[in-house]
A and B are shown apart, each in its own frame.
Chain A
Protein backbone atom coordinates (compact mmCIF):
# COMPACT_ATOMS: atom_id res chain seq x y z
CA UNK A 1 0.00 0.00 0.00
CA UNK A 2 1.43 3.34 -1.04
CA UNK A 3 2.28 5.79 1.71
CA UNK A 4 0.18 9.02 1.77
CA UNK A 5 1.35 11.31 4.60
CA UNK A 6 -1.54 13.18 6.19
CA UNK A 7 0.20 16.57 6.41
CA UNK A 8 0.76 17.03 2.65
CA UNK A 9 -1.44 18.22 -0.21
CA UNK A 10 -1.70 16.36 -3.52
CA UNK A 11 -2.62 16.70 -7.19
CA UNK A 12 -4.48 14.37 -9.50
CA UNK A 13 -1.22 14.05 -11.45
CA UNK A 14 0.46 12.53 -8.38
CA UNK A 15 2.61 15.42 -7.19
CA UNK A 16 2.70 16.30 -3.52
CA UNK A 17 3.10 19.75 -1.96
CA UNK A 18 4.57 20.37 1.50
CA UNK A 19 4.33 23.83 3.04
CA UNK A 20 7.78 24.51 4.55
CA UNK A 21 7.43 28.23 5.34
CA UNK A 22 4.76 30.87 4.75
CA UNK A 23 4.18 30.99 0.96
CA UNK A 24 6.94 28.40 0.34
CA UNK A 25 6.33 24.80 -0.70
CA UNK A 26 8.35 21.70 -1.51
CA UNK A 27 7.19 19.64 -4.51
CA UNK A 28 7.81 16.00 -5.40
CA UNK A 29 5.98 12.94 -6.66
CA UNK A 30 4.05 10.57 -4.45
CA UNK A 31 5.00 7.12 -3.25
CA UNK A 32 2.24 5.73 -5.46
CA UNK A 33 3.69 7.51 -8.51
CA UNK A 34 7.27 6.31 -7.93
CA UNK A 35 5.94 2.76 -7.54
CA UNK A 36 4.07 2.97 -10.83
CA UNK A 37 7.06 4.45 -12.66
CA UNK A 38 9.64 1.98 -11.42
CA UNK A 39 13.36 2.71 -11.08
CA UNK A 40 13.97 6.40 -11.76
CA UNK A 41 17.13 7.00 -13.79
CA UNK A 42 16.97 10.71 -14.54
CA UNK A 43 15.10 13.78 -13.29
CA UNK A 44 15.24 16.94 -15.40
CA UNK A 45 14.50 19.96 -13.21
CA UNK A 46 14.12 23.69 -13.96
CA UNK A 47 16.55 26.44 -12.96
CA UNK A 48 16.12 28.54 -9.86
CA UNK A 49 14.12 31.62 -10.85
CA UNK A 50 11.91 29.83 -13.38
CA UNK A 51 8.24 30.81 -13.07
CA UNK A 52 5.39 28.39 -13.62
CA UNK A 53 1.62 28.63 -13.76
CA UNK A 54 -0.41 25.82 -12.26
CA UNK A 55 -0.33 22.75 -14.57
CA UNK A 56 2.75 24.00 -16.47
CA UNK A 57 5.39 21.38 -17.19
CA UNK A 58 8.28 22.04 -14.80
CA UNK A 59 10.39 18.97 -15.53
CA UNK A 60 10.68 15.41 -16.78
CA UNK A 61 11.18 12.17 -14.95
CA UNK A 62 12.66 9.12 -16.67
CA UNK A 63 12.36 5.59 -15.35
CA UNK A 64 13.92 2.54 -16.96
CA UNK A 65 10.71 1.72 -18.76
CA UNK A 66 8.84 5.01 -19.03
CA UNK A 67 9.16 8.77 -19.27
CA UNK A 68 6.72 11.25 -17.76
CA UNK A 69 6.37 15.01 -17.46
CA UNK A 70 6.11 16.80 -14.15
CA UNK A 71 3.36 19.38 -13.71
CA UNK A 72 3.56 22.36 -11.42
CA UNK A 73 0.91 21.89 -8.74
CA UNK A 74 0.78 25.62 -7.99
CA UNK A 75 1.68 28.97 -9.55
CA UNK A 76 4.97 30.42 -8.42
CA UNK A 77 8.72 30.80 -8.76
CA UNK A 78 11.35 28.11 -8.25
CA UNK A 79 13.61 29.11 -5.34
CA UNK A 80 15.59 25.88 -4.97
CA UNK A 81 16.04 22.61 -6.85
CA UNK A 82 17.20 19.31 -5.37
CA UNK A 83 20.69 19.03 -6.87
CA UNK A 84 21.20 15.59 -5.32
CA UNK A 85 18.76 14.09 -7.81
CA UNK A 86 21.22 14.79 -10.61
CA UNK A 87 23.61 12.13 -9.26
CA UNK A 88 21.11 10.11 -7.21
CA UNK A 89 17.79 9.97 -9.09
CA UNK A 90 16.87 6.76 -7.24
CA UNK A 91 16.16 8.92 -4.14
CA UNK A 92 12.76 9.52 -5.77
CA UNK A 93 12.08 5.79 -5.33
CA UNK A 94 13.64 5.25 -1.92
CA UNK A 95 12.46 8.43 -0.18
CA UNK A 96 9.88 10.28 -2.32
CA UNK A 97 8.66 12.51 0.51
CA UNK A 98 12.11 13.19 1.97
CA UNK A 99 15.45 13.23 0.14
CA UNK A 100 13.58 12.67 -3.14
CA UNK A 101 11.92 16.11 -3.16
CA UNK A 102 12.29 17.97 -6.48
CA UNK A 103 11.79 21.74 -6.23
CA UNK A 104 10.93 24.44 -3.69
CA UNK A 105 8.62 27.19 -4.91
CA UNK A 106 7.56 30.63 -3.71
CA UNK A 107 3.79 30.79 -4.18
CA UNK A 108 2.12 33.62 -6.11
CA UNK A 109 -0.96 33.08 -3.96
CA UNK A 110 -0.29 31.91 -0.42
CA UNK A 111 -3.73 30.29 -0.25
CA UNK A 112 -3.39 28.15 -3.36
CA UNK A 113 -2.34 24.98 -1.54
CA UNK A 114 -5.78 24.94 0.11
CA UNK A 115 -7.28 24.15 -3.31
CA UNK A 116 -5.23 20.94 -3.68
CA UNK A 117 -6.34 17.46 -2.69
CA UNK A 118 -6.14 16.43 0.94
CA UNK A 119 -4.40 13.18 1.87
CA UNK A 120 -7.78 11.57 2.31
CA UNK A 121 -8.98 12.66 -1.12
CA UNK A 122 -5.74 11.52 -2.74
CA UNK A 123 -5.91 8.19 -0.98
CA UNK A 124 -9.36 7.66 -2.46
CA UNK A 125 -8.08 8.57 -5.90
CA UNK A 126 -5.34 5.96 -5.80
CA UNK A 127 -7.11 3.36 -3.69
Chain B
Protein backbone atom coordinates (compact mmCIF):
# COMPACT_ATOMS: atom_id res chain seq x y z
CA UNK B 1 0.00 0.00 0.00
CA UNK B 2 1.29 3.44 -0.87
CA UNK B 3 1.65 6.28 1.54
CA UNK B 4 -1.78 7.92 1.88
CA UNK B 5 -1.90 11.17 -0.04
CA UNK B 6 -4.63 13.46 1.20
CA UNK B 7 -6.53 15.19 -1.55
CA UNK B 8 -4.31 14.21 -4.45
CA UNK B 9 -4.12 11.43 -7.00
CA UNK B 10 -1.88 8.61 -5.89
CA UNK B 11 1.66 9.00 -7.24
CA UNK B 12 3.64 6.15 -8.80
CA UNK B 13 4.94 3.44 -6.42
CA UNK B 14 6.38 5.08 -3.35
CA UNK B 15 9.75 4.69 -1.79
CA UNK B 16 9.72 1.80 0.66
CA UNK B 17 8.76 2.69 4.20
CA UNK B 18 6.82 5.74 3.09
CA UNK B 19 3.91 5.06 5.38
CA UNK B 20 5.83 4.54 8.56
CA UNK B 21 7.41 7.95 8.41
CA UNK B 22 5.23 9.90 10.84
CA UNK B 23 3.74 13.17 9.60
CA UNK B 24 6.36 15.82 9.99
CA UNK B 25 6.07 19.56 10.23
CA UNK B 26 8.18 20.29 7.22
CA UNK B 27 6.20 23.39 6.29
CA UNK B 28 6.40 24.76 9.80
CA UNK B 29 9.18 23.48 12.03
CA UNK B 30 7.75 25.05 15.16
CA UNK B 31 3.94 24.88 15.19
CA UNK B 32 2.01 26.42 18.04
CA UNK B 33 0.11 24.32 20.54
CA UNK B 34 -3.38 25.07 21.78
CA UNK B 35 -4.09 24.90 25.56
CA UNK B 36 -5.61 21.44 24.90
CA UNK B 37 -2.55 19.93 23.21
CA UNK B 38 -1.56 17.60 26.03
CA UNK B 39 -5.17 16.50 26.51
CA UNK B 40 -5.42 15.53 22.83
CA UNK B 41 -2.17 13.57 22.99
CA UNK B 42 -3.29 11.76 26.16
CA UNK B 43 -6.54 10.82 24.41
CA UNK B 44 -4.52 9.26 21.59
CA UNK B 45 -5.43 11.84 18.94
CA UNK B 46 -3.64 11.86 15.61
CA UNK B 47 -1.97 15.28 15.64
CA UNK B 48 -1.19 17.10 12.39
CA UNK B 49 0.28 20.48 11.50
CA UNK B 50 -2.48 22.85 10.42
CA UNK B 51 -2.29 26.61 9.85
CA UNK B 52 0.76 27.01 12.07
CA UNK B 53 -0.70 24.87 14.86
CA UNK B 54 -0.50 21.21 15.69
CA UNK B 55 -4.12 20.07 15.82
CA UNK B 56 -6.05 16.83 16.36
CA UNK B 57 -7.36 15.52 13.04
CA UNK B 58 -9.06 12.57 14.74
CA UNK B 59 -9.20 10.62 17.98
CA UNK B 60 -9.05 6.81 18.20
CA UNK B 61 -12.83 6.54 17.61
CA UNK B 62 -12.23 7.73 14.03
CA UNK B 63 -13.76 10.40 11.81
CA UNK B 64 -16.94 8.46 11.04
CA UNK B 65 -17.77 7.79 14.70
CA UNK B 66 -16.98 11.40 15.67
CA UNK B 67 -19.11 12.69 12.82
CA UNK B 68 -22.07 10.52 13.84
CA UNK B 69 -21.70 11.56 17.48
CA UNK B 70 -22.16 15.19 16.44
CA UNK B 71 -25.19 14.40 14.25
CA UNK B 72 -26.92 12.31 16.92
CA UNK B 73 -25.62 13.52 20.32
CA UNK B 74 -22.76 15.91 21.01
CA UNK B 75 -19.13 16.46 19.99
CA UNK B 76 -16.43 18.76 21.33
CA UNK B 77 -13.93 20.43 19.00
CA UNK B 78 -10.79 22.35 19.89
CA UNK B 79 -10.71 25.17 17.36
CA UNK B 80 -8.39 27.44 19.30
CA UNK B 81 -6.31 27.96 16.18
CA UNK B 82 -8.96 30.38 14.87
CA UNK B 83 -8.00 34.06 14.93
CA UNK B 84 -9.78 36.68 17.06
CA UNK B 85 -9.44 40.44 16.64
CA UNK B 86 -10.95 43.03 18.97
CA UNK B 87 -11.95 46.28 17.26
CA UNK B 88 -12.63 49.30 19.47
CA UNK B 89 -13.18 52.97 18.91
CA UNK B 90 -15.78 55.54 17.93
CA UNK B 91 -15.74 54.40 14.32
CA UNK B 92 -15.33 50.64 14.88
CA UNK B 93 -18.71 49.98 13.28
CA UNK B 94 -17.98 52.19 10.25
CA UNK B 95 -14.58 50.55 9.84
CA UNK B 96 -15.96 47.00 9.99
CA UNK B 97 -18.69 47.98 7.58
CA UNK B 98 -16.00 49.13 5.15
CA UNK B 99 -13.85 45.98 5.34
CA UNK B 100 -16.66 43.39 5.43
CA UNK B 101 -19.64 42.82 3.15
CA UNK B 102 -22.47 42.26 5.63
CA UNK B 103 -24.23 45.14 7.39
CA UNK B 104 -22.45 45.62 10.72
CA UNK B 105 -24.78 48.56 11.47
CA UNK B 106 -27.69 46.12 11.66
CA UNK B 107 -26.07 44.11 14.47
CA UNK B 108 -27.51 44.47 17.95
CA UNK B 109 -25.45 44.09 21.10
CA UNK B 110 -25.15 40.34 21.70
CA UNK B 111 -25.61 39.41 18.06
CA UNK B 112 -23.25 37.59 15.69
CA UNK B 113 -22.98 37.94 11.94
CA UNK B 114 -21.37 35.78 9.28
CA UNK B 115 -19.56 37.87 6.67
CA UNK B 116 -16.79 38.05 4.10
CA UNK B 117 -13.71 40.25 3.78
CA UNK B 118 -13.00 41.26 0.18
CA UNK B 119 -10.13 42.90 -1.66
CA UNK B 120 -10.42 45.63 -4.30
CA UNK B 121 -10.98 42.95 -6.98
CA UNK B 122 -14.15 41.91 -5.17
CA UNK B 123 -12.74 38.47 -4.38
CA UNK B 124 -12.66 36.84 -0.97
CA UNK B 125 -9.73 37.45 1.37
CA UNK B 126 -11.49 35.53 4.15
CA UNK B 127 -14.83 34.63 5.66
CA UNK B 128 -15.41 35.69 9.25
CA UNK B 129 -17.79 36.16 12.14
CA UNK B 130 -18.44 39.60 13.64
CA UNK B 131 -19.62 39.80 17.28
CA UNK B 132 -21.04 43.03 18.67
CA UNK B 133 -20.44 43.66 22.37
CA UNK B 134 -21.54 46.79 24.22
CA UNK B 135 -18.26 48.65 23.71
CA UNK B 136 -16.31 46.68 21.09
CA UNK B 137 -16.55 44.22 18.24
CA UNK B 138 -14.81 40.86 17.85
CA UNK B 139 -13.89 39.44 14.45
CA UNK B 140 -13.21 35.71 14.19
CA UNK B 141 -11.13 34.71 11.17
CA UNK B 142 -9.52 31.59 9.73
CA UNK B 143 -6.23 30.63 11.36
CA UNK B 144 -4.47 30.32 8.01
CA UNK B 145 -5.49 33.89 7.08
CA UNK B 146 -4.99 35.62 10.40
CA UNK B 147 -1.80 37.55 9.61
CA UNK B 148 -2.89 38.27 6.05
CA UNK B 149 -6.25 39.59 7.32
CA UNK B 150 -4.59 41.74 9.94
CA UNK B 151 -2.37 43.36 7.29
CA UNK B 152 -5.28 43.68 4.87
CA UNK B 153 -7.81 45.33 7.18
CA UNK B 154 -4.98 47.27 8.85
CA UNK B 155 -4.42 49.12 5.56
CA UNK B 156 -7.89 50.65 5.81
CA UNK B 157 -8.00 51.27 9.56
CA UNK B 158 -5.95 54.50 9.38
CA UNK B 159 -8.97 56.29 7.89
CA UNK B 160 -11.18 55.37 10.85
CA UNK B 161 -11.04 56.16 14.53
CA UNK B 162 -10.52 52.63 15.77
CA UNK B 163 -7.91 50.23 17.12
CA UNK B 164 -7.46 46.56 16.19
CA UNK B 165 -6.06 44.17 18.77
CA UNK B 166 -5.13 40.58 17.84
CA UNK B 167 -6.02 38.44 20.88
CA UNK B 168 -5.69 35.09 19.07
CA UNK B 169 -2.66 33.84 21.01
CA UNK B 170 -4.36 34.38 24.37
CA UNK B 171 -7.76 33.05 23.33
CA UNK B 172 -9.02 29.48 23.39
CA UNK B 173 -12.08 28.33 21.47
CA UNK B 174 -14.12 25.17 21.95
CA UNK B 175 -17.10 24.21 19.80
CA UNK B 176 -19.72 22.05 21.52
CA UNK B 177 -21.92 20.76 18.70
CA UNK B 178 -24.86 18.42 18.39
CA UNK B 179 -28.56 18.08 19.15
CA UNK B 180 -27.79 17.42 22.84
CA UNK B 181 -25.38 20.38 23.23
CA UNK B 182 -27.85 22.64 25.07
CA UNK B 183 -28.95 20.04 27.63
CA UNK B 184 -25.29 19.14 28.29
CA UNK B 185 -24.11 22.74 28.68
CA UNK B 186 -27.09 24.04 30.68
CA UNK B 187 -26.13 22.60 34.11
CA UNK B 188 -22.54 23.88 33.73
CA UNK B 189 -23.35 27.52 33.03
CA UNK B 190 -25.25 30.40 34.63
CA UNK B 191 -26.46 31.43 31.19
CA UNK B 192 -30.08 30.88 30.26
CA UNK B 193 -29.35 29.03 27.03
CA UNK B 194 -32.96 29.28 25.89
CA UNK B 195 -32.39 33.05 25.63
CA UNK B 196 -29.31 32.65 23.40
CA UNK B 197 -30.85 32.27 19.96
CA UNK B 198 -29.05 31.11 16.81
CA UNK B 199 -26.29 33.62 16.00
CA UNK B 200 -26.55 35.42 19.35
CA UNK B 201 -24.14 35.29 22.29
CA UNK B 202 -23.79 36.07 25.97
CA UNK B 203 -20.97 36.29 28.49
CA UNK B 204 -21.44 33.84 31.32
CA UNK B 205 -19.66 31.31 33.49
CA UNK B 206 -18.91 27.77 32.34
CA UNK B 207 -17.56 25.12 34.71
CA UNK B 208 -16.80 27.81 37.31
CA UNK B 209 -14.87 30.00 34.84
CA UNK B 210 -16.22 33.55 34.54
CA UNK B 211 -16.51 35.74 31.42
CA UNK B 212 -16.84 32.98 28.85
CA UNK B 213 -18.33 34.17 25.58
CA UNK B 214 -20.99 31.63 24.60
CA UNK B 215 -22.38 31.98 21.10
CA UNK B 216 -24.98 29.78 19.50
CA UNK B 217 -22.94 29.24 16.36
CA UNK B 218 -21.06 26.44 14.67
CA UNK B 219 -19.82 24.77 11.54
CA UNK B 220 -21.67 21.47 11.63
CA UNK B 221 -25.33 22.17 10.83
CA UNK B 222 -26.33 21.02 14.30
CA UNK B 223 -27.43 23.05 17.27
CA UNK B 224 -24.45 23.99 19.41
CA UNK B 225 -22.27 26.59 21.02
CA UNK B 226 -18.86 28.11 20.59
CA UNK B 227 -17.06 29.06 23.80
CA UNK B 228 -14.34 31.73 23.83
CA UNK B 229 -12.17 32.19 26.91
CA UNK B 230 -8.60 32.85 27.96
CA UNK B 231 -6.09 30.04 27.40
CA UNK B 232 -5.44 29.38 31.07
CA UNK B 233 -9.04 28.23 31.60
CA UNK B 234 -8.74 25.59 28.89
CA UNK B 235 -8.40 22.43 30.97
CA UNK B 236 -11.10 23.48 33.50
CA UNK B 237 -13.70 24.01 30.78
CA UNK B 238 -12.67 20.95 28.75
CA UNK B 239 -12.87 18.76 31.86
CA UNK B 240 -16.24 20.17 32.94
CA UNK B 241 -17.70 19.31 29.53
CA UNK B 242 -16.06 15.88 29.26
CA UNK B 243 -17.02 14.88 32.82
CA UNK B 244 -20.66 14.90 31.76
CA UNK B 245 -19.83 11.62 30.03
CA UNK B 246 -22.08 12.66 27.15
CA UNK B 247 -19.54 14.41 24.92
CA UNK B 248 -17.34 12.87 22.21
CA UNK B 249 -14.09 14.68 21.39
CA UNK B 250 -14.03 15.34 17.65
CA UNK B 251 -11.17 16.42 15.40
CA UNK B 252 -10.66 18.55 12.32
CA UNK B 253 -11.44 15.55 10.08
CA UNK B 254 -15.02 15.30 11.37
CA UNK B 255 -15.32 19.08 11.34
CA UNK B 256 -14.58 18.97 7.61
CA UNK B 257 -17.04 16.17 6.77
CA UNK B 258 -19.76 17.80 8.89
CA UNK B 259 -19.42 21.22 7.29
CA UNK B 260 -19.26 19.75 3.78
CA UNK B 261 -22.51 17.82 4.31
CA UNK B 262 -24.04 21.23 5.06
CA UNK B 263 -22.48 22.84 1.97
CA UNK B 264 -20.66 25.31 4.23
CA UNK B 265 -17.67 26.92 2.53
CA UNK B 266 -14.09 26.22 3.62
CA UNK B 267 -11.58 28.93 2.86
CA UNK B 268 -8.77 27.60 0.68
CA UNK B 269 -11.09 25.00 -0.90
CA UNK B 270 -14.53 26.38 -1.74
CA UNK B 271 -13.62 30.03 -1.48
CA UNK B 272 -10.41 31.96 -2.00
CA UNK B 273 -9.15 35.21 -3.50
CA UNK B 274 -10.09 34.15 -7.04
CA UNK B 275 -13.85 34.04 -6.42
CA UNK B 276 -16.47 36.61 -5.42
CA UNK B 277 -19.12 35.98 -2.76
CA UNK B 278 -21.80 36.11 -5.47
CA UNK B 279 -20.14 33.18 -7.25
CA UNK B 280 -19.74 31.32 -3.96
CA UNK B 281 -23.46 31.35 -2.97
CA UNK B 282 -22.59 33.95 -0.36
CA UNK B 283 -24.59 36.77 -1.95
CA UNK B 284 -26.70 36.82 1.22
CA UNK B 285 -23.66 38.19 3.05
CA UNK B 286 -23.38 41.15 0.64
CA UNK B 287 -25.40 44.27 1.52
CA UNK B 288 -24.99 46.62 -1.43
CA UNK B 289 -27.27 49.25 0.12
CA UNK B 290 -25.26 49.78 3.31
CA UNK B 291 -22.76 52.29 1.86
CA UNK B 292 -19.30 51.89 0.43
CA UNK B 293 -17.10 48.89 1.20
CA UNK B 294 -13.98 47.27 -0.21
CA UNK B 295 -14.83 45.39 -3.42
CA UNK B 296 -18.34 46.86 -3.78
CA UNK B 297 -17.88 48.24 -7.32
CA UNK B 298 -16.93 44.83 -8.66
CA UNK B 299 -19.95 43.18 -7.04
CA UNK B 300 -22.36 45.83 -8.31
CA UNK B 301 -21.08 45.25 -11.84
CA UNK B 302 -21.15 41.47 -11.47
CA UNK B 303 -24.68 41.60 -10.16
CA UNK B 304 -25.87 43.42 -13.29
CA UNK B 305 -23.70 41.44 -15.73
CA UNK B 306 -24.50 38.06 -14.19
CA UNK B 307 -22.04 35.61 -12.67
CA UNK B 308 -19.89 33.46 -14.98
CA UNK B 309 -19.85 30.49 -12.61
CA UNK B 310 -21.37 29.30 -9.40
CA UNK B 311 -20.28 27.03 -6.58
CA UNK B 312 -22.38 23.88 -6.73
CA UNK B 313 -22.58 20.63 -4.81
CA UNK B 314 -22.91 17.24 -6.46
CA UNK B 315 -23.03 13.58 -5.59
CA UNK B 316 -21.20 10.85 -7.52
CA UNK B 317 -22.87 7.73 -8.86
CA UNK B 318 -19.94 5.41 -7.99
CA UNK B 319 -18.52 4.82 -4.54
CA UNK B 320 -15.30 6.69 -5.22
CA UNK B 321 -14.25 9.87 -3.49
CA UNK B 322 -13.82 13.01 -5.62
CA UNK B 323 -10.95 14.74 -3.87
CA UNK B 324 -9.70 18.32 -3.88
CA UNK B 325 -7.94 19.02 -7.18
CA UNK B 326 -9.50 16.33 -9.38
CA UNK B 327 -10.66 17.72 -12.79
CA UNK B 328 -14.39 18.46 -13.18
CA UNK B 329 -16.14 18.39 -16.57
CA UNK B 330 -19.43 19.85 -17.77
CA UNK B 331 -20.67 19.09 -21.29
CA UNK B 332 -17.32 17.49 -22.06
CA UNK B 333 -15.22 20.54 -21.13
CA UNK B 334 -13.11 20.83 -18.03
CA UNK B 335 -14.64 23.72 -16.07
CA UNK B 336 -12.96 23.47 -12.67
CA UNK B 337 -11.35 21.10 -10.21
CA UNK B 338 -13.01 19.56 -7.18
CA UNK B 339 -12.96 22.14 -4.40
CA UNK B 340 -14.05 19.89 -1.53
CA UNK B 341 -14.93 16.24 -1.63
CA UNK B 342 -15.50 13.37 0.76
CA UNK B 343 -17.61 10.29 1.38
CA UNK B 344 -20.57 11.65 3.33
CA UNK B 345 -20.65 9.71 6.61
CA UNK B 346 -24.36 10.42 7.15
CA UNK B 347 -25.65 9.95 3.59
CA UNK B 348 -23.08 7.30 2.66
CA UNK B 349 -22.55 8.71 -0.85
CA UNK B 350 -19.60 10.67 -2.26
CA UNK B 351 -20.25 14.42 -2.12
CA UNK B 352 -18.20 17.25 -3.63
CA UNK B 353 -18.23 20.89 -4.69
CA UNK B 354 -16.93 22.74 -7.75
CA UNK B 355 -17.53 25.95 -9.66
CA UNK B 356 -19.77 25.30 -12.68
CA UNK B 357 -21.26 27.48 -15.44
CA UNK B 358 -24.66 28.79 -14.22
CA UNK B 359 -26.70 26.26 -16.25
CA UNK B 360 -24.43 23.44 -15.04
CA UNK B 361 -24.96 24.50 -11.44
CA UNK B 362 -28.72 23.85 -11.62
CA UNK B 363 -30.13 20.99 -9.57
CA UNK B 364 -30.12 17.76 -11.59
CA UNK B 365 -27.39 18.84 -14.04
CA UNK B 366 -24.82 16.17 -14.90
CA UNK B 367 -21.10 16.62 -14.33
CA UNK B 368 -18.12 14.32 -14.57
CA UNK B 369 -15.06 14.01 -12.36
CA UNK B 370 -11.84 12.43 -13.54
CA UNK B 371 -10.67 10.01 -10.87
CA UNK B 372 -7.45 8.09 -11.57
CA UNK B 373 -7.92 8.33 -15.33
CA UNK B 374 -11.61 7.41 -15.31
CA UNK B 375 -14.60 9.75 -15.74
CA UNK B 376 -17.21 9.27 -13.03
CA UNK B 377 -20.64 10.84 -13.44
CA UNK B 378 -22.25 13.05 -10.82
CA UNK B 379 -25.50 14.94 -10.35
CA UNK B 380 -25.79 18.48 -9.02
CA UNK B 381 -27.78 18.61 -5.77
CA UNK B 382 -29.48 21.39 -3.90
CA UNK B 383 -27.41 22.31 -0.85
CA UNK B 384 -27.19 21.37 1.93
CA UNK B 385 -26.51 17.73 1.10
CA UNK B 386 -27.75 16.80 4.58
CA UNK B 387 -31.20 18.25 5.13
CA UNK B 388 -31.97 17.22 8.71
CA UNK B 389 -29.50 19.29 10.73
CA UNK B 390 -30.89 20.77 13.95
CA UNK B 391 -29.63 24.12 12.60
CA UNK B 392 -29.57 24.56 8.83
Task: Give A52-104 interface residues, CB cut-off 8 Å to B.
Answer: 55, 57, 60-71, 86, 90, 93
A-B contact pairs, 29 of them (CB 8 A): A12-B17, A13-B1, A13-B14, A13-B18, A14-B19, A14-B20, A29-B1, A32-B20, A36-B19, A38-B46, A38-B62, A44-B320, A62-B320, A64-B63, A64-B64, A64-B257, A64-B345, A65-B58, A65-B63, A66-B4, A66-B5, A67-B323, A68-B2, A68-B4, A68-B10, A69-B1, A69-B10, A70-B1, A90-B64
Most interface-central of A29, A39, A70 (chain B CB within 10 A): A39
Q: Indicate whether A33 sits within 8 Å of B57 (C-beta atoms), given known contacts A39-B62, A42-B320, A65-B253.
A: no
Taking the complex as formed, is B13 at the interface, i.e. its CB lies under 8 A from any CB of chain A? yes
B282 to chain A, nearest CB (A): 26
For this complex, into which size category does the number of interface residues on chain B fall?
20 to 34
Which residue of chain B has its CB nearest to the CB of A122?
A: B20
Task: Note all chain B residues with C-beta closer than 8 A to A32.
Answer: 19-20
Which residue of chain A has its CB nearest to the CB of B16?
A: A12
Taking the complex as formed, is B289 at the interface, i.e. its CB lies under 8 A from any CB of chain A? no
The distance in angstroms between the C-alpha atoms of A13 and B319, with both chains bound, is 24
Task: Note all chain A residues with C-beta closer than 8 A to B312.
Answer: none
Task: Give B1-25 interface residues, CB cut-off 8 Å to A.
Answer: 1-6, 9-10, 13-14, 16-20
Interface mask (B169-180 → A, CB under 8 Å = 1, otherwise 0): 000000000000
Contact call A68/B253, Cβ cutoff below 8 A: no
The distance in angstroms between the C-alpha atoms of A71 and B2, with both chains bound, is 8
Which residue from A12, A38, A42, A69 sits with its C-beta under 8 Å from B321? Answer: A42
The distance in angstroms between the C-alpha atoms of A125 and B323, with both chains bound, is 30
Describe B's contact surface by its main secondary structure.
loop
Task: Give A21-56 interface residues, CB cut-off 8 Å to B.
Answer: 29, 32-33, 36-39, 41-42, 44, 55
Closest 7 pairs between A and B when the two form their complex, measured CB to CB? A66-B4, A41-B343, A12-B16, A39-B64, A64-B63, A69-B10, A14-B1
Taking the complex as formed, is A126 at the interface, i.e. its CB lies under 8 A from any CB of chain B? yes
The distance in angstroms between the C-alpha atoms of A65 and B57, with both chains bound, is 9
Which residue from A36, A64, A67 sits with its C-beta under 8 Å from B253? Answer: A64
- Which residues of A are in contact with B by a Cβ distance under 8 Å? 12-15, 29, 32-33, 36-39, 41-42, 44, 55, 57, 60-71, 86, 90, 93, 125-126
Contact call A65/B2, Cβ cutoff below 8 A: no
The distance in angstroms between the C-alpha atoms of A61 and B257, with both chains bound, is 18
Which residue of chain A has its CB nearest to the CB of B61?
A: A39
Task: Note all chain A residues with C-beta closer than 8 A to B4.
Answer: 36-37, 63, 65-68
The distance in angstroms between the C-alpha atoms of A13 and B257, with both chains bound, is 28
Taking the complex as formed, is B195 at the interface, i.e. its CB lies under 8 A from any CB of chain A? no
Task: Note all chain B residues with C-beta closer than 8 A to A61.
Answer: 1
The distance in angstroms between the C-alpha atoms of A32 and B331, with both chains bound, is 43
Task: Note all chain B residues with C-beta closer than 8 A to A37.
Answer: 1, 4
10 new A-B contacts at CB < 8 Å, known A65-B63, A125-B20:
A15-B1, A37-B4, A39-B63, A39-B64, A41-B321, A66-B6, A69-B1, A69-B2, A71-B1, A93-B62
The distance in angstroms between the C-alpha atoms of A12 and B17, with both chains bound, is 6
Describe A's contact surface by its main secondary structure.
mixed
Task: Give B339-378 interface residues, CB cut-off 8 Å to A.
Answer: 342-343, 345, 372
Interface mask (B274-313 → A, CB under 8 Å = 1, otherwise 0): 0000000000000000000000000000000000000000
The distance in angstroms between the C-alpha atoms of A123 and B85, with both chains bound, is 49
Task: Note all chain B residues with C-beta closer than 8 A to A69.
Answer: 1-2, 10, 13
Task: Note all chain B residues with C-beta closer than 8 A to A86.
Answer: 319
Contact call A33/B343, Cβ cutoff below 8 A: no
Which residue of chain B has its CB nearest to the CB of A33?
A: B1
The distance in angstroms between the C-alpha atoms of A70 and B16, with both chains bound, is 13
The distance in angstroms between the C-alpha atoms of A73 and B343, with both chains bound, is 28
Task: Note all chain B residues with C-beta closer than 8 A to A57.
Answer: 13
Task: Note all chain B residues with C-beta closer than 8 A to A62.
Answer: 320-321, 343
A102 to chain B, nearest CB (A): 10
